[in-house]
């Protein structure tokens, strides 16, 4: 697995770990000349007029149909979605390392009164209060939570069903870098606040305090601050594409790099949390390192990518299937590193270039109890091994 040392500089719900300075360079869109190859631009931003229609948004519209001109301004999105976004106030039975002031965000998931938020928002909760946009307050109970994916589901019993204005989940798998998005939440307790930005990257691998990394995380430059956690990240259709989760910062406040849990993750986990109170993540039971040029040279490999298995957890699915860990060491860049062992090249025909490929595939396509075909490079030969996945241990 990826080392938890990567947690340096990561703030989850305003929990600061170490000090990593992130440099973020914003490159504006260049409309350029109309040479037939450059998509036209709709040229107003955030509903603020720049001499043209203030109800359009600044995004490229592809001549090949990859983008569709939006029909909603950010103002329209806010009007549509905000009634389904809630403030979450938590009284905790113990002090935990956070500066969120016991405030988070969430959104209405269904007409049964289920609210989706981050698991860290309601951590150590003794009591939970949910406030709707009309300032009505309700007590909430925890239905289920998953610390690995940092997703939780609450439930409120409302006296008027009309208060439950659900926010639809969108298809986060279609997100593209540069696509405009908006976040609604309660940063620093400021109720019903909206910020806007773009998708900075998709399918990030986010280290967590559980010791496991979370795949399929969305990176955005949309402002996310303490109190924003659990609120929706929205596309231009007003659909949820992510759940705002963390920032990378040295101060605990927004610095241009934020993260959101993908809507695909919510779509998979939320029903299980509502039904069973928990979700069984599939688990192989290995840790290792992405193949590097030095490793290729020392092991005399004829590949340029893959995942080197360094450790196999005893009594794990990998152990039962006979996957081979590293047994030798070599000095690489001045430090002893494991070499030898199996190199994972594919899972069920899906190419493995890095650990992220493995985790993404298992996260979205497999469940505990499923059997997968793993393609390995072992002692210079390609071998295939079948591994039956188990439930990930705590």
The structure tokens listed for 223 are: 């402002």
The predicted pLDDT at position 338 comes to 87
Domain with residues 282-391, CATH architecture = Roll (2.30)
DSSP 45: B
The predicted pLDDT at position 41 comes to 36
Strand partners, 11: 16, 247
Q: Which numeric CATH code is attached to 71-279?
A: 2.40.10.120
The predicted pLDDT at position 255 comes to 65
- How many angstroms from the chain centroid is the CA of residue 20? 20
The predicted pLDDT at position 222 comes to 94
The answer to whether residues 142 and 156 touch, using CB atoms and an 8 Å cutoff, is: no
Domains in the chain: boundaries: 71-279, 282-391
For the chain (length 394 residues), average pLDDT per consecutive 10? 36 33 32 42 33 42 50 92 96 74 93 96 94 95 96 95 94 96 94 95 90 93 92 97 83 75 97 97 95 89 94 97 92 82 96 96 96 96 97 92
The predicted pLDDT at position 69 comes to 52
Residue appearing with tokens 């603020």 = 48
C-alpha distances in Å from residue 17, one per residue of 20, 247, 248, 343: 9, 11, 10, 32
Residues annotated catalytic, as ranges: 120, 150, 229
The predicted pLDDT at position 208 comes to 85
C-alpha distances in Å from residue 282, one per residue of 242, 286, 360: 22, 12, 11
The predicted pLDDT at position 23 comes to 29
Is the full-model pTM beyond 0.75?
yes
The predicted pLDDT at position 247 comes to 78
């Amino acid at each position: 697995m990826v080392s938890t040392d990567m947690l340096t500089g990561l703030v989850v719900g305003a929990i600061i770990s170490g000090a990593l300075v992130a440099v973020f360079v914003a490159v504006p869109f260049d409309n350029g000349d109309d040479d037939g190859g450059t998509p036209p631009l709709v040229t107003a931003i955030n509903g603020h007029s720049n001499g043209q229609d203030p109800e359009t948004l600044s995004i490229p519209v592809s001549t090949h149909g990859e983008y569709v001109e939006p029909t909603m301004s950010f103002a329209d999105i806010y009007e549509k979605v905000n009634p389904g976004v809630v403030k979450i106030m938590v009284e905790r039975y113990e002090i935990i390392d956070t500066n969120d002031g016991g405030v988070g965000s969430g959104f209405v998931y269904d007409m049964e009164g289920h609210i989706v938020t981050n698991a860290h928002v309601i951590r150590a909760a003794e009591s939970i209060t949910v406030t709707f946009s009309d300032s009505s307050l309700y007590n909430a109970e925890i239905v289920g939570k998953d610390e690995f994916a940092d997703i939780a589901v609450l439930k409120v019993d409302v006296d008027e069903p009309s208060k439950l204005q659900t926010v639809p989940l969108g298809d986060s798998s279609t997100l593209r870098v540069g696509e405009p998005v908006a976040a609604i939440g309660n940063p620093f307790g400021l109720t019903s606040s909206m910020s806007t930005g773009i998708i900075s990257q998709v399918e990030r691998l986010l280290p967590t305090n559980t010791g496991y990394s979370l795949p399929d995380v969305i990176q955005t430059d949309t402002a996310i601050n303490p109190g924003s956690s659990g609120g929706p990240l929205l596309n231009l259709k007003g659909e949820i594409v992510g759940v705002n989760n963390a920032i990378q910062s040295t101060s605990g406040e927004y610095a241009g790099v934020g993260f959101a849990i993908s809507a695909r993750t919510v779509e998979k986990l939320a029903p299980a949390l509502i039904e069973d109170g928990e979700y069984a993540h599939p688990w192989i039971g290995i840790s290792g390192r992405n193949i590097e040029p030095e490793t290729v040279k020392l092991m005399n490999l004829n590949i340029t990518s893959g995942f080197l298995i360094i450790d196999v957890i005893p009594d794990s699915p990998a152990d039962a299937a006979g996957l081979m860990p590293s047994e030798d060491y070599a000095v690489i860049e001045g430090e002893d590193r494991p070499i030898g062992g199996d190199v994972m090249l594919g899972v069920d025909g899906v190419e493995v270039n890095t650990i992220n490929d493995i985790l993404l595939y298992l996260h979205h396509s497999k469940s505990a109890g499923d059997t997968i075909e793993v393609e390995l490079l072992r002692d210079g030969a390609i071998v295939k091994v079948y591994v039956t996945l188990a439930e990930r241990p705590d």
